A and B are shown apart, each in its own frame.
Chain A
Amino acid sequence: MNLQDFEKLAALAQQASPGRVDVEYAVLRRLAAQRAQPATAVEPARLWSSIFAWLAGAAAVAASFGAALALQAWFSLSNPLAALLNSFVVMIP
């Protein structure tokens, strides 16, 4: 099959009909179930998980800054590695 054959097949496929579909009852039942669900039961859990995620992120940033500062203090300025490290740390606002 080449692209032209495919296009012909697709043109024919456009005529396909799904037949009668009746979802009225199923949709209304799903919406009723959705309304009956206690929305507040889920929200605090989501709120706490996002708070913890933010705290974990902030802790990770603080830890990396702390580690960088500790390394800077550990090496003397005469050490070439420390000088290099120092130049990186200074770049951090």
Chain B
Amino acid sequence: MSGQHRDATDIAASLQGDGAAFAHLIRRYQGQVAGDLSRFTHDRLRLEELTQDVFVEAYNSLRTYRGEAPFGHWLRKITVRVGYRFLKEAGKNRARDEAVPEPASTEADPEPGPAEAAARVQGLLAKLAPRDRLVLTLMYMQGLSVAEIADRTGWSRIMVKVQAFRARQRLKRLLEKSRRIET
């Protein structure tokens, strides 16, 4: 049985109230969802919480899934929505939610590992507005194209381009400012 067919069977069963079928979907996609969300936060507890949020939201709107695109693709849109909500909340309570490293510390280790690099990038992006942070996270941390970002966020391609341009300008200014402080 193909993956898509298995998903369709499990979705139909989940809609009938079969919890075990939805558990199959969770098992199949939790790695993908957690992987995408790890670009938004490096806090392990928050990551697990957000991953749960995605599946709860997916279950609640399962009836709206029309099966036109693969289930994993649909789930990715929910993941971005949940991630963006997290960024907005984190923006409001930055000090509480995210340990933001100081710019000086970003120069500390010239050859960091991937996890350290992710923490540093998230720390720098945390200083930006949620909208800027979202587009840069999807662009740089997930390596998505303009078309893919537009698809996942529901924005138009033009809007993604404009938003990405502005966010990059603001990031550039932020990096220059922190470099000036260091010197």
Contact = CB atoms under 8 A, between A and B. Distances in A.
Contacts of A15: 114
A12 B141 contact: no
Contacts of B51: 21, 23
B112 A12 contact: yes
B162 interface: no
A24 B34 contact: no
B67 interface: no
Interface residues of B, number: 43
Interface string B105-118: 01100001111011
B108 to A, nearest CB: 11
A2 B175 contact: yes
Contact of B124 (A6, A20, A24, A32): A6
Interface in B21-61: 22-23, 26-27, 30-31, 34-35, 37-39, 44, 47-48, 51-52, 55-56, 59
A31 interface: yes
B48 A21 contact: yes
B163 interface: no
A18 B114 CA distance: 11
B143 interface: yes
B103 interface: yes
A40 interface: no
Contacts of A1: 103, 106-107, 175, 178-179
A17 B37 CA distance: 11
B140 A34 contact: no
Contacts of B121: 6, 9-10, 13
A34 B56 contact: yes
B63 to A, nearest CB: 14
Contacts of B31: 20-21
Interface string A22-38: 11101110111010000
B17 to A, nearest CB: 9
Contact of A16 (B52, B117, B124, B143): B117
B85 interface: no
B171 interface: yes
B46 to A, nearest CB: 11
23 contacts: A1-B107, A1-B179, A2-B172, A2-B176, A3-B171, A6-B121, A10-B121, A10-B140, A10-B141, A12-B112, A13-B39, A13-B114, A13-B140, A15-B114, A16-B38, A16-B118, A21-B30, A21-B47, A26-B48, A26-B52, A27-B26, A28-B19, A28-B22
